[in-house]
Amino acid sequence: MSTTLIQNGTLVTDRHTFHADILIENGRIRDVAPSIPNTNADRVIDAAHMLVLPGGIDVHTHMDMPFGGTTSADDFETGTRAAAIGGTTTIVDFAIQAKATKMRDALDTWWKKAEGKVCIDYGLHMIVTDLGTSGLEDMDDMVREGVASFKLFMAYPNVLMVDDATIFKALGQTAKNGALICMHAENGSVIDVIVQKALAEGKTAPIYHALTRPTRAEAEAVHRAIALAEMAGAPVYIVHLSSEDALNQVREARDRGLPAFAETCPQYLLLSINDMDKPGFEPAKYVFTPPLREPHNLPKLWDGLRHDHLQVVSTDHCPFCFADQKILGKDDFTKIPNGGPGVENRLQLIHHHGVGTGRLSLNRFVELVSTTPARLFGMYPRKGALEVGSDADIVIWDPNAEHTISAATHHMRVDYSMFEGFHVRGNARQVLSRGEVIVDQGKFLGKAGRGQYLRRAARGGAWK
Ligand SMILES: [Zn+2]
């Protein structure tokens, strides 16, 4: 039996900020009280002048993911190590069903990718590409394995895109089994027409990735996704929402009382299409989907976070190295692997630009990066909480630590940062995962493979 005592800290949850000590026993929180005397704890952490937060939860990452003839540069070891250093103690990654195969095959494949490597606890969503004859029962089978959420694509025709009938059937199945459907909402068919026209006109530079994906194509798909969910009687979660146009659709639905939810990501909050105004092929660093938008969208997304029109900040971490992967699209922007790195910097960026600027309270910050993701995806209160019985996934956060983000010092296995030179105040000092100190002052102390697969519960927060 091992015990750790965290003393003198200021605890921050989604609801409250208060002084308390935390006693951890065998990986779980055993006691939370104003003052817990040290009888004989194996380890004492002095958190004076520090904030004590539930560990970050990033529900949108792509480690070791095949895309366009290459694979995302972080595997489950390098990616989750970087996540931990930045204060994230849980990820939910995506397994991808190959067409005409069982979802179980994909689950096995992704479990193998994580095995022996993953440094923090992880769950998996299942990307549905094919609902053939056994597809719907396959979904129930996945729910029994703790895959309590599915992702469907309204974009990427002939690769990942599914039609409205498939989306509607999948939503209908979740109305029975209590899983949550996550939608990549962009009108892929229309975008494809715009893209083909651009290529025919010789427009092959990276900037055309952004210019061929209008915000209306995102808004239309968000509207359609929500309408389909409403007809099916199921909640829906929009991933990586990037624009005011799309946000308006979510807000309108929520105002009508529909269980529609959405996440956005640091890149959409802090970068705009103007950041692609760089020489040569460098804009390829910002080629991901949806693309960066016009600057006027940014304050609208911050407002959305503040007023709960948006509920979650995730990263869509999907790194590809500039030198040898992004370059695949040197002569054709459609060949640039889509994705960017970010899993390490989410808490730093949202704390600095959200809490530090007064846009978000500390409690709202915790809600967005930890508690709501845990609730919506069936992990609460084991994760996302500082309650007796919760896993001791805890970040000792120094609100005054200064840090400059750079590819030269980050831990993600990728040769650039989207946030190069960004200066932040506030950083993780220590990170505990199930009671084990896995990060101390930026140094990873945990062991690869120590992370556990999380069996997530159906009928999570989206159903309440
Ligand atoms: Zn993604």
Tell me what pLDDT residue 193 has: 98
Q: How many CB atoms lie within 10 A of CB 2?
A: 12
Q: Is the pLDDT of residue 362 over 80?
A: yes
User: What does the pLDDT read at residue 130?
Assistant: 93
Q: What is the pLDDT of residue 56?
A: 99
What integer pLDDT is reported at residue 135 of this predicted model? Answer: 86
Cα(164) to centroid of ligand 1, in Å? Answer: 20
Distance 260 CA to ligand 1 centre (A): 19
Give me the mean pLDDT over the 414-434 stretch: 98
**Predicted local distance difference test score (pLDDT) of residue 443:** 98
Distance (angstroms) between ligand 1 centre and the Cα of 60 equals 6
Predicted TM-score (pTM) of this structure:
0.98
- Summarize the confidence of residues 172-196 as an average pLDDT: 98
Give residues with Cβ within 8 angstroms of 27, minimum separation 6. Answer: 391, 392, 434, 435, 436
Report, as an integer, the average pLDDT of 68-88. 97
**Are the C-beta atoms of residues 338 and 318 closer than 8 Å to each other?**
yes
Structure confidence by residue, pLDDT tens digits, 279-337: 999 999 999 999 999 999 999 999 999 999 999 999 999 999 999 999 999 999 999 99
Ligand 1: centre distance to CA 234 (Å): 22
Kindly tell me if the per-residue pLDDT of 1 is higher than 80: no
Share of residues in the chain with pLDDT > 70 (%): 100
Q: Which residues contact residue 123 at a Cβ distance below 8 angstroms, ignoring those fewer than 6 apart?
A: 90, 91, 92, 93, 146, 147, 148, 377, 379, 453, 454, 456
Q: Dump pLDDT digits (tens) for 433-446.
A: 999 999 999 999 99
Q: Please answer whether residues 262 and 237 qualify as being in contact, where contact means their C-beta atoms are separated by less than 8 angstroms.
A: yes
**Ion ligand 1 — residues with CB under 5 Å?**
316
In this predicted model, what pLDDT tens digit does every residue of 208-259 receive, in sequence order? 999 999 999 999 999 999 999 999 999 999 999 999 999 999 999 999 999 9
Task: List pLDDT tens digits, range 45-56.
Answer: 999 999 999 999
Q: How confident is the model at residue 59 (pLDDT cuts 50, 70, 90)?
A: very high
Q: Is the pLDDT confidence value at 134 over 80?
A: no
Confidence band for 132, pLDDT divided at 50, 70 and 90: confident
Å from CA of 54 to ligand 1 middle: 24
Using the predicted structure, report yes or no on whether residue 143 has a pLDDT greater than 90: yes
Q: Are 210 and 285 in contact (CB under 8 A)?
A: no
Q: Which SS3 state, helix, strand or coil, does residue 25 take?
A: strand
Residue 122 has φ and ψ, to the nearest 5°, of -145, 145
> Residue 182 has what pLDDT?
98
CA distance 116 to 453: 12
For ligand 1, the distance from its centroid to the CA atom of residue 62, given in whole angstroms, is 7
What mean pLDDT value characterizes the chain?
A: 97
- Name the band, by pLDDT with cuts 50, 70 and 90, for residue 464: confident
